[in-house]
Amino acid sequence: MLISAAPVSIRDSLIDEYHRVRSVSRDICAPLENDDYQVQSIAQTSPPKWHLAHTSWFFETFVLGRFIPKYKPFNPKFDFIFNSYYVTHGEIHPRAARGQLSRPTVEQIYDYRAYIDDQITRLMQSASDKDWPDLAEFIVLGINHEQQHQELLLMDIKHNFHANPLKPAYRENLPRPRGEMRPMSWVLYGEGVYQIGHEGNAFAFDNEAPRHDVFLNGFRLADRLITNAEYLDFINDGGYEDPVLWLSDGWSLIAEQGWKHPLYWQPNDDGWQQFTLGGLRPLNPAEPVCHVSYYEAEAYSRWAGKRLPLESEIEVVLAKKPFKGTFYESGLLHPAPARHGGAQWYGDLWTWTSSPYTPYPGFKPLNGAIGEYNGKFMSNQMVLRGGSCVTASDHIRASYRNFFYPNERWAFTGIRLADDI
Amino acid sequence: MLISAAPVSIRDSLIDEYHRVRSVSRDICAPLENDDYQVQSIAQTSPPKWHLAHTSWFFETFVLGRFIPKYKPFNPKFDFIFNSYYVTHGEIHPRAARGQLSRPTVEQIYDYRAYIDDQITRLMQSASDKDWPDLAEFIVLGINHEQQHQELLLMDIKHNFHANPLKPAYRENLPRPRGEMRPMSWVLYGEGVYQIGHEGNAFAFDNEAPRHDVFLNGFRLADRLITNAEYLDFINDGGYEDPVLWLSDGWSLIAEQGWKHPLYWQPNDDGWQQFTLGGLRPLNPAEPVCHVSYYEAEAYSRWAGKRLPLESEIEVVLAKKPFKGTFYESGLLHPAPARHGGAQWYGDLWTWTSSPYTPYPGFKPLNGAIGEYNGKFMSNQMVLRGGSCVTASDHIRASYRNFFYPNERWAFTGIRLADDI
Amino acid sequence: MLISAAPVSIRDSLIDEYHRVRSVSRDICAPLENDDYQVQSIAQTSPPKWHLAHTSWFFETFVLGRFIPKYKPFNPKFDFIFNSYYVTHGEIHPRAARGQLSRPTVEQIYDYRAYIDDQITRLMQSASDKDWPDLAEFIVLGINHEQQHQELLLMDIKHNFHANPLKPAYRENLPRPRGEMRPMSWVLYGEGVYQIGHEGNAFAFDNEAPRHDVFLNGFRLADRLITNAEYLDFINDGGYEDPVLWLSDGWSLIAEQGWKHPLYWQPNDDGWQQFTLGGLRPLNPAEPVCHVSYYEAEAYSRWAGKRLPLESEIEVVLAKKPFKGTFYESGLLHPAPARHGGAQWYGDLWTWTSSPYTPYPGFKPLNGAIGEYNGKFMSNQMVLRGGSCVTASDHIRASYRNFFYPNERWAFTGIRLADDI
Amino acid sequence: MLISAAPVSIRDSLIDEYHRVRSVSRDICAPLENDDYQVQSIAQTSPPKWHLAHTSWFFETFVLGRFIPKYKPFNPKFDFIFNSYYVTHGEIHPRAARGQLSRPTVEQIYDYRAYIDDQITRLMQSASDKDWPDLAEFIVLGINHEQQHQELLLMDIKHNFHANPLKPAYRENLPRPRGEMRPMSWVLYGEGVYQIGHEGNAFAFDNEAPRHDVFLNGFRLADRLITNAEYLDFINDGGYEDPVLWLSDGWSLIAEQGWKHPLYWQPNDDGWQQFTLGGLRPLNPAEPVCHVSYYEAEAYSRWAGKRLPLESEIEVVLAKKPFKGTFYESGLLHPAPARHGGAQWYGDLWTWTSSPYTPYPGFKPLNGAIGEYNGKFMSNQMVLRGGSCVTASDHIRASYRNFFYPNERWAFTGIRLADDI
């Protein structure tokens, strides 16, 4: 079985869930002008309209095409242009050229979404009890896939708007996080064999399984993310000029790119400004530093005399912590300072780990195109954990493994320190 | 004086002309969906909305900013993003990033155009008689600049639509050229000193002056363009595989790019199709071959045992020929076969010449940003002559010098043979 | 302490060892023409003369410069051009430009080596008993560093000679490996906590420490490497054409590079030939397949229904196996078929593991330039284990961690399968 | 006929000439260490040993292979690696990879040269009177080809040595040019039809023909080259920072490359130094500024309120001037200040012209591989005239057309001003 499927005894609740999640994509795009749907600022991002179509294509291909005999696609050519990485499914349109697709138009893509929603609803209502468990499993996967793209939508929109010299705000009246910087505390865990990986019947992606034993030395983890103020100390101490602090590939990168600060920071006469989904704001020293690459996170940790956590260390801790934090639902779309007396474990920012993204022991890629979902990306990327302020709160869990290349920083990424004991 | 200015005694006719030309830009964009305004398929092209804004910026900067004391720009930031190549005028937004500018929106850009039109109209109406000649000169330049961008709009729209795997048509019901292929005839000119370059009071660009003597050997020019049928003979004879036929830089280019045919051709089971502004059509053998690079034109001429004309040779002939041909006004937006009994001198396709784009003897760049208009591009490009099916008929003349890099082929370019006698 | 230092009670034996290892570098270069010393075929390789100078620079900088007060370098400018990656030690000459350094000449570099050997000998003879342990530790490190470059010399020479269309042999009369292909057997290990990492007093690199616990699921390892015959089955089964078999980054790479077979293979009329340090030879099906990238090794293992081993799995097995295999001393400079009745654990080819190169728990980079030795490369590379036919037999051990980027294949790399049980 | 052949009645004198010119190549390489023969610092240059072999290959292919029935080449594989641009003659080794060819060795290449010299001598001695004129024509072409590569050898050696951080001198005791800066004078020519192009029976390249009429406006030419002192005024006046002075492609280039001064200049504490074939020297203000690109020459001329000359203008003047100047035979290998009372027309530095390299009216490429000699390069390059301090004095003439890309500056290039009258 591809995934740990939810017990889906109650059909109506899944239909509701489908519509609820699908409507979030529309909500995210509501502040956009038609023009904004078209932009692809770098090859790694996609135009918002592409996300809207691709997530629908996913339901069309892996649900409607699978469960409806002789299903007629909305437009057969969409399979070519909205297939993302499913190489086995067919030839694909070059990723970097997505911004060139003015057709289908935004309006046509919303028609496409409506068509898919209608078809999926009918299918869910009419499926036989025999087919239902299998169907439900793929619907759940499609819902989770859509949630991933909702986070990508917000990441990509931020990058697109930042690329514009006019520096427009995605939402003018976005509320700002509050709070002041508080001291860092540490949680300690002793040496021993721990278990990580997904367990139970709730949904999880294939890459979170199988649950397995790991041996960990004693360690401690910071109970909050590194703040802008702390990161400024690193910058002001010459962090970006000292090769000793950097991995070799990172040092080459910052030299080549001329990086001197996190993405979205810019100096002005009074100090630093930061571009957010609410536009340019003065840099708030108490907020967690965000949009740093793995190399920057790793260099910071070395400068601080600490290290980045292993993904297993974070998972062990997360599994014991209350599920609270700044998620998409907060409406902030920006990380908030850790509260006094409160920890900062989930949400706010994805934490870079020092763990390359590799398969768990016993992981096997699955059959068919759906098998490409996660396994094929298991090289050259680093694992991130915990979710962010643009992650849906019902999409994240202790075992969740996100991954990006170590040079990437348009995701909502931050730094959490670890240490040996 | 920058240009050979028209006698502009009648103010109202220039106001009318201004509005007539400005409205053509809107006409060209009328078939576009909002999404289509945003696309930039390659670095050399610009999104349609950018053209609409840039041409307005041109009037704002070089007319309103010059003639209205303390003129308040529509939006001061537009100067940065809609300045194209006027380096001396200020810093500019990177050309390749124009497709990332979702803001200002299409709607805002049309507002900008309306604002500029209103301001220009008032200025033209209220200018003193003393200021009028100078003002009129810049208005005429702005009108001609807008016409250049109208041709670019059609070139760029074609390229953008072609980049889309859906191969949408810009205009579904575009009429098709008619006619059959007819034999080629030649016109002969004897050796001697000829004069070329602009003369008279009508408008011309700075690069057409000064009028000057050239010595030409005896030559003959074909009275029509090379057809698709003729170019197919070249292809079928192995033209793209024989290095002897190619300039060294051209041979490297076609190897690197894998070129085997003109841009916009694609093979299908029945033969060749060609992408046009009316969508994909079967290749018409009688039509002139279009969208070839200089290298392809030059290789074809060598294969045919002839050569490409000098720009001076074409100008000498054009100056004697009746002004007829397929222009923008024909509504075809595609080159037509040469008619029986009729020559094909102006329009249809820009003819590649073997003349690099260099200054005429005595040419001097002008003062100020406007001086960048033409002179700074006088390296590495080749001259093309005669206008095309997407050129306004009142924009072209015998002395008109167009120019592109020898590897470029998204312009409406064709091949005319020449020979020594 | 940087390394686990050998007990160096007997000074003379270390002096002998120093001279013995240094002379191997000269032996390796003996078959070269003066011209061959200068070539750098790709940015990752270095000209042979550079290796000869750089290893001497290493002794000069980290031994002579450290232990001799007011040491006068042979040539102060050498520090700039023969410093490799020690960014903290000073500015460095661009890696890709090493092939441009015709000066110092080969002759001058041999003079440099002689000078360093003389200085080191005197220093070792005259050092006080108090200084000796510290000195000995750096001498041992320099010896091991030289041995690493001896393997690189042979890798780079092979690549340089292969780049030449004349396909010259490095050594014309190199003996050929013998033997036939034998069936594969498997060794089994049960689930549990194992220890890996260097232990004891013998020399090891910093990246092999500290010794630590790992939890391993039950696994089995193939007792020999994959052969050319087996790899041909993969090729003939369409292995290079099926995206399902490949990691996403690997699939992009082979498409971009047009890879269809391992490096150094070339088809001829009778089948396959392979370029070796003895020149072109017919491909021997019984020999281990060599010069494959991580992506190819991983794709092969997936095609075979198995997986690549973890580095911990290999180390656990190696630690229990007799130390036998094809090393540099065999004189073959090419991998040999596994013998009947005999395993193939050490030597022949470095085995790609599925373990990214990361620090062991508790690893801390050391102070000073020498601290860059290993830690700074701990991103984006994969670990390889076991040594090869161009590794000195006294340079390899169970805990030895080699590392290359997953796209690289000029090292002597091979494939060993693993499986879950 | 390919070339305007010399009357070659006296066989022995041509044999002597052959040996004399061939020996100059050896003289030029005499100061080189074996290591220096191997270096290719950039793709446009070639290793010295490649030049030595290629010029021999030229005689082997176009003389021995043509005139000796069943000629057996020295090594049949040399045809692949020492063929330069004669695409029609066969497949060629990638230009940028010439530095990787350690084999054949320098020694083998000198053997190759000796073998060719011997074969050519025998052939010249034994050819029938009937064959002689045709043979002599190709010998003369090969001699001229060798002289072109002698200049390239010196250009490339200079670039290779400069690429080395040790900044070695090609010849330590090279004499230095003497003299002081003197005022510039102008020569004037009136408007009219002039003739340019080669005439007479002496050798000339195909691109110098046919002789033909050109119409020139009245012009004047500076009687000496621009000096370092004058160019420093341009630099100090912000010449490299003012976009108005630059062609658009040039401005992009200097921004991308960070050019702030001519190639081979470097600032030190006391001012400027310049790298020469005699090593680093303080910049001599009276010497002509050298190693500038076309863009720099053009920008300088614009800054000076003048322009660059047309190639026809220079040829008209050169044809009337005494043949004197600093050539290879001077032994300076560097340009000298113009003498008081003396003009500076030939030699010292190739003068950039504003004329793109295009065919003369009536020029036709010739049959066979030899036809590629010049014609295929007739795009994107600019003509230079007059020869330089590294040109053999018997290789240059008024009609000689050299050509380089406008961004190139490793040739011995300089600036001569022109003006309209």
At position C170, the amino acid (one-letter code) is Y
Check if A106 contacts B (Cβ < 8 Å). yes
Over residues D335-345, the mean pLDDT reads: 90
Query: What's the pLDDT score for residue C136?
Result: 95
At C199-247, the pLDDT tens digits run 998 999 999 999 999 999 999 999 999 999 999 999 999 999 999 899 9
Chains A and B make contact, 3+ CB pairs within 8 Å: yes
Query: What's the pLDDT score for residue C4?
Result: 44
- CA B197 distance to own-chain centroid: 18
Name which of A186, A174, A132 is nearest A14 in CA terms: A132
**Do B102 and A166 lie within an 8 Å CB cutoff?**
no
- Between C85 and B138, the more confident residue is B138
Instruction: For residue A341, list its beta bridge partners.
Output: none
The sign of the CA dihedral C61, C65, C70, C73 is: negative
- CA D318 distance to own-chain centroid: 17
Residue D24 near residue D153 (C-beta atoms within 8 A): no
Strands B350-356 and B413-414: parallel
3-state secondary structure chain A: CCCCCCCCCCHHHHHHHHHHHHHHHHHHHCCCCHHHHHCCCCCCCCCHHHHHHHHHHHHHHHHHHHHCCCCCCCCCCHHHHHCCCCHHHCCCCCHHHHHHCCCCCHHHHHHHHHHHHHHHHHHHHHCCCCCHHHHHHHHHHHHHHHHHHHHHHHHHHHHHHHHCCCCCCCCCCCCCCCCCCCCCCEEEECCEEEEECCCCCCCCCHHHCCCEEEEECCEEEECCCCEHHHHHHHHHCCHHHCHHHCCHHHHHHHHHHCCCCCCCEEEECCEEEEEECCEEEECCCCCECCCCCHHHHHHHHHHCCCECCCHHHHHHHHCCCCCCCCCHHHCCCCCCCCCCCCCCCCCCCEEEEEEECCCCCCCCCCCCHHHHCCHHHCCCCEEEECCCCCCCHHHCCCCCCEEECCCCCCCCEECCCEEEC
- C-alpha span between D222 and D225 (Å, rounded): 7
The C-alpha R_g of chain A, in whole angstroms, comes to 22
Query: What's the pLDDT score for residue B88?
Result: 61
Share of chain C above pLDDT 90, in %: 87
At position B244, the amino acid (one-letter code) is V
- C-alpha span between D40 and C41 (Å, rounded): 12
Name which of B381, B377, B374 is nearest B406 in CA terms: B381
CB < 8 Å from C in window 249-288 of A: 249-251
**Do B100 and A160 lie within an 8 Å CB cutoff?**
yes
- Between B368 and A421, the more confident residue is A421
Write the burial class of residue B1 (CB in 10 Å: 0-12 exposed, 13-18 middle, 19+ buried). exposed
At position C345, the amino acid (one-letter code) is W
CA angle, residues A195, A206, C243, in degrees to nearest 5: 135
At position C22, the amino acid (one-letter code) is R
CB < 8 Å from A in window 185-224 of B: none
Query: What's the pLDDT score for residue D5?
Result: 47
B161: left (phi over 0), alpha (psi -120 to 50) or beta: alpha
Tokens of D265: 């200049």
Q: Could you say which residues of chain B have pLDDT below 70?
A: 1-9, 85-91, 365-369, 372
Query: What's the pLDDT score for residue D85?
Result: 62
CA angle, residues B387, B392, B396, in degrees to nearest 5: 45
Check if D379 contacts B (Cβ < 8 Å). yes
Instruction: For residue B350, list its beta bridge partners.
Output: B413
Query: What's the pLDDT score for residue C87?
Result: 62
Nearest CA in chain B to D368: B244
**Do B247 and D215 lie within an 8 Å CB cutoff?**
no
Distance from CA of C40 to the nearest CA of D (A): 7
Helices within D131-287 (DSSP H only): 132-163, 228-236, 248-257
Flag whether pLDDT at D366 surpasses 70: no
**Do D100 and C164 lie within an 8 Å CB cutoff?**
yes
- For B264, other C-beta atoms within 10 Å of its C-beta total 18
Nearest CA in chain D to C97: D41
**Do C33 and D102 lie within an 8 Å CB cutoff?**
yes
Chains B and D make contact, 3+ CB pairs within 8 Å: yes
At A237-267, the pLDDT tens digits run 999 999 989 999 999 999 999 999 999 999 9
Query: What's the pLDDT score for residue C365?
Result: 65
Residue B409 near residue B162 (C-beta atoms within 8 A): no
Strands C413-414 and C350-356: parallel
Query: What's the pLDDT score for residue A89?
Result: 58
Query: What are the angstrom distances between the C-alpha of D325 and each of B174, D27, D166?
Result: 67, 21, 32
At D241-259, the pLDDT tens digits run 999 899 999 999 999 999 9
At A44-58, the pLDDT tens digits run 999 999 999 999 999
Query: What's the pLDDT score for residue D181?
Result: 87
Largest CA distance in chain D: 67
- For D28, other C-beta atoms within 10 Å of its C-beta total 22
Residues in B closer than 8 angstroms to A164, CB to CB, are 100-103
Check if A103 contacts B (Cβ < 8 Å). yes
Query: What's the pLDDT score for residue D90?
Result: 64
Flag whether pLDDT at A5 surpasses 50: no
Phi, psi of D229 (to 5 degrees): -60, -45
Query: What's the pLDDT score for residue A369?
Result: 63
- C-alpha span between D172 and D149 (Å, rounded): 23
Residue A218 near residue A194 (C-beta atoms within 8 A): no
**D241 DSSP 8-state letter:** G
Chains contacting B with at least 3 CB pairs below 8 Å?
A: A, D
Check if A247 contacts C (Cβ < 8 Å). yes
**C409 DSSP 8-state letter:** -
Query: What's the pLDDT score for residue B5?
Result: 47
- Between C371 and C296, the more confident residue is C296
Query: What's the pLDDT score for residue D3?
Result: 44
Nearest CA in chain C to A252: C87
At B20-43, the pLDDT tens digits run 999 999 999 999 999 999 999 999
- C-alpha span between D404 and D402 (Å, rounded): 7
- C-alpha span between B209 and B373 (Å, rounded): 14
Query: What's the pLDDT score for residue C8?
Result: 46
What is the count of residue pairs from A and C with beta carbons less than 8 Å apart? Answer: 89
Distance from CA of A270 to the nearest CA of B (A): 22
Distance from CA of D95 to the nearest CA of C (A): 13
Instruction: For residue D310, name the pLDDT band (cuts at 50, 70, 90).
Output: very high
Flag whether pLDDT at C9 surpasses 90: no
- For the CA atoms of B345, B347, B348, B353, the dihedral, rounded to the nearest 10 degrees, stands at 60
**Do A34 and B106 lie within an 8 Å CB cutoff?**
yes
Which of D34, D99, D104 is opposite residue C99, by nearest beta carbon? Answer: D99
Provide the whole-model pTM. Answer: 0.95
**Do C33 and D93 lie within an 8 Å CB cutoff?**
no
Which residues are within 8 A (CB) of A159 and not within 5 positions of it... i.e. 6 or more apart? A41, A42, A45, A410
D11-29 and D106-126 helices, crossing angle to 10°: 170
**Do B35 and A105 lie within an 8 Å CB cutoff?**
yes
Residue A120 near residue A114 (C-beta atoms within 8 A): no
Distance from CA of C247 to the nearest CA of A (A): 4
At A99-136, the pLDDT tens digits run 999 999 999 999 999 999 999 999 999 999 999 999 99
Mutate to test the interface with D, among B380, B419, B420 (most CBs of D within 10 A): B380
- For D331, other C-beta atoms within 10 Å of its C-beta total 12
Query: What's the pLDDT score for residue D405?
Result: 98
Tokens of B113: 């155009």
Instruction: For residue A374, name the pLDDT band (cuts at 50, 70, 90).
Output: confident
Nearest CA in chain C to D82: C165
Instruction: For residue D339, name the pLDDT band (cuts at 50, 70, 90).
Output: confident
What is the count of residue pairs from C and D with beta carbons less than 8 Å apart? Answer: 86
Nearest CA in chain D to C98: D164
How high is the mean pLDDT of chain C?
94
Query: What's the pLDDT score for residue A83?
Result: 86
Residues in B closer than 8 angstroms to D372, CB to CB, are 244
Residue with tokens 């002939």: B317
Name which of B164, B169, B174, B155 is nearest B279 in CA terms: B169
Tokens of C322: 């007799």
Q: Which residues of A263-284 are buried (b: 16+ CB within 10 A; e: fewer)?
A: bbbeeeeeebbbbbbbbeeebb
